[in-house]
Amino acid sequence: SESKFTPNKLTFRRGIPYRLHVENRGKEMHEFNAADLFKAAKINNPAVLNADKTELVLRPGETKDLYFIPRQAGHFKLVCPDHDWAGMTGEITVE
């Protein structure tokens, strides 16, 4: 579906390095906004994020990889700010 994250629940472990591969398979621009997670993580390639360092912005058909290390355990919101009304939300857990 155009307005959903698949999967919409992600789990990471604190202190472990990750590559998060995000694809926009839709026909509209989408954002992968996890502002609180990104603030609480060490981002190894911050240039892939927007200027505020709050989200990945992906054009239709675009893919991006974010390399990061979660530093704080907790539950973090995932939203596409332009499509959250349509259900494009999720949750990220750091254990």
Q: Where are the domains of the chain?
A: 9-94
Strand arrangement, sheet containing 41-43: 18-23, 63-70, 41-43
Please enumerate in sequence order all residues whose Cβ is within 8 A of that of 54, keeping only pairs 6 or more positions apart, or say none: 33, 34, 35, 38
pTM of the shown model: 0.94
51-63: pLDDT as tens digits: 999 999 999 999 9
CATH number of 9-94: 2.60.40.420
Q: Judge residue 90's burial from the number of C-beta atoms within 10 Å of its C-beta, 0-12 exposed, 13-18 middle, 19 or more buried.
A: buried
For residue 1, what pLDDT band results from cuts at 50, 70 and 90? low
Structure tokens at 45: 């390639």
